[in-house]
Amino acid sequence: MRHLLFLLLALGSAAQAAPTTMPIPGQNWQISFDAPVLNKMKEQSRPGQFVYVGNAGKFNLSLHVEDPGCSGGTTHRAYYECFWPKASRNPMIAQETVVATEGPRYYKVAFDIHAPWQGRILVLKNLNYLIAYRGKWIDLHVSVVDPQADDLAMLEALEKSLVYDETPAPK
């Protein structure tokens, strides 16, 4: 699972949040949010799909933009109803921590993963923002390893700043 790929990057605390904007290739829109300055691990664009993966210390982010994977996928709720039954099968998810909330801009699923590492259990705080926009499904997934108060504040800043909109015309 991609969460564990970043487990070894659990050094230091997450950096301060700064404005981040990602134009989506092949689309006429972008997604913006406050996040630490990310080290790009992967970026891939194919017709109908865009993937970005980056991290900053113990903060991890992945962005997946793709065509809907289930019929009726034009709403945030439809995306959640298709996505979560599969994703929730991960045996490392602490089921008692799962909280799903529907809002006007996204359907958010928050959960913790408890992962054994060097003789102890690491907590990975995870947030999936599931968005249906302009015929695409957007999964903005963020996680923080062993989050502290400043990490949680940074996650709140990301959530408050999250927008997706038309790409401004060049000046």
Q: What are the average pLDDT values for consecutive 10-residue runs of the chain, which has 171 residues?
A: 41 67 94 96 94 96 94 89 94 96 96 92 96 96 96 96 85 64
pLDDT of residue 70: 87
Residue 170's pLDDT is 66
Two tokens, residue 17: 């949040």
Q: What are phi and psi of 50, to 5 degrees?
A: -140, 135
String of DSSP letters for 49-83 = EEEEEEEETTEEEEEEEES-SSTT--SHHHHHHHH
- Using the structure block, give the residue that is written with the tokens 């659990």: 10
pLDDT score of 1: 43
Q: What pLDDT is stored for residue 41 in this prediction? A: 96
CATH class of 2-166: alpha beta
